[in-house]
């Protein structure tokens, strides 16, 4: 289940109030293990005036992940409470009691600075946010070269059990069917090529006149 709240003019009003340049919205979505986060982190180091919107999640931190850096970590109860408060731009229950979402307060924080906002969100959420903002947003789907390669990447990552990997692969097979609903599909076979293709799409979008 994926939920998106109406917030089309939210950034516009915040930005105008602060008298700052309006930013644009860039949406990245992909099956788990496709390499989306690697691409996003590389782009954030380049001169696109991008700022990452930190998502909230109810899952536990992995490895050295820190609250407020990789994610805002909430308990399932805290996440559900924020849903009732209408605190999310979009949210989804990816697995039972495992939620991911974009806090409106996070979008407001970035909007107030006039930066271009990068959303790293679930595939269904990406489709829905794109529908909400239309040509004011660029949606990119990062696709693995094959499901077999995706399975290898998840296994090599060493963070999930075999059962969890099987769940991720099953979910990925469903998510791949949404690829055509994104503005641009980036095949992440060779990272440098994928980065080049993404930069080309970003340059074209950011040079357009549409503002978020």
CA torsion 34→36→39→41, rounded to 10°?
A: -140
| Inside any domain, residue 159 | yes
Q: What is the mean pLDDT of the chain?
A: 87
**Token couple for 35:** 């390499």
pLDDT band for 14, please (50, 70, 90 cuts).
very low
What pTM was estimated for this model as a whole?
A: 0.82
Instruction: Say which CATH number the domain at 36 has.
Output: 3.40.50.300
| Inside any domain, residue 212 | no
13 versus 108: the higher-pLDDT residue is: 108
Q: State the residue range of the domain holding 159.
A: 2-206
pLDDT band for 17, please (50, 70, 90 cuts).
very low
DSSP assignment string, 130-171: HHHHGGGEEEEEEE-S-HHHHHHHHHHH--S-HHHHHHHHHH
- The number of CA neighbours under 13 Å toward the Cβ of 186 is 31
> How many separate domains does the chain show?
1
pLDDT band for 20, please (50, 70, 90 cuts).
very low
| Inside any domain, residue 176 | yes
């Amino acid at each position: 289940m994926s939920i998106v709240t109406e917030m089309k003019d939210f950034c516009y009003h915040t930005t105008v109030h602060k008298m700052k340049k309006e930013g644009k919205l860039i949406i990245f979505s992909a099956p788990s293990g496709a390499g989306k986060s690697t691409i996003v982190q590389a782009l954030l180091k380049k001169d696109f005036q991008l700022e990452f919107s930190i998502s909230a999640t109810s899952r536990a931190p992995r490895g050295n992940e820190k609250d407020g850096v990789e994610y805002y970590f909430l308990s399932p109860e805290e996440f559900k409470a924020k849903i009732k408060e209408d605190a999310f731009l979009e949210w989804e229950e990816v697995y039972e009691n495992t939620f991911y979402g974009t806090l409106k307060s996070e979008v407001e924080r970035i909007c107030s600075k006039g930066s271009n906002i990068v959303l790293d969100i679930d595939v269904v959420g990406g489709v829905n946010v794109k529908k909400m903002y239309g040509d004011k947003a660029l949606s990119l789907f990062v696709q693995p070269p094959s499901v077999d390669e995706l399975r290898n990447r998840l296994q090599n990552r060493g963070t999930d059990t075999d059962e969890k990997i099987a769940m991720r692969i099953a979910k990925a097979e469903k998510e791949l069917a949404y690829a055509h609903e994104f503005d641009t599909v980036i095949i992440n076979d060779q990272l440098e090529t994928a980065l080049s293709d993404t930069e080309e799409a970003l340059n074209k979008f950011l040079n357009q006149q549409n503002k978020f």
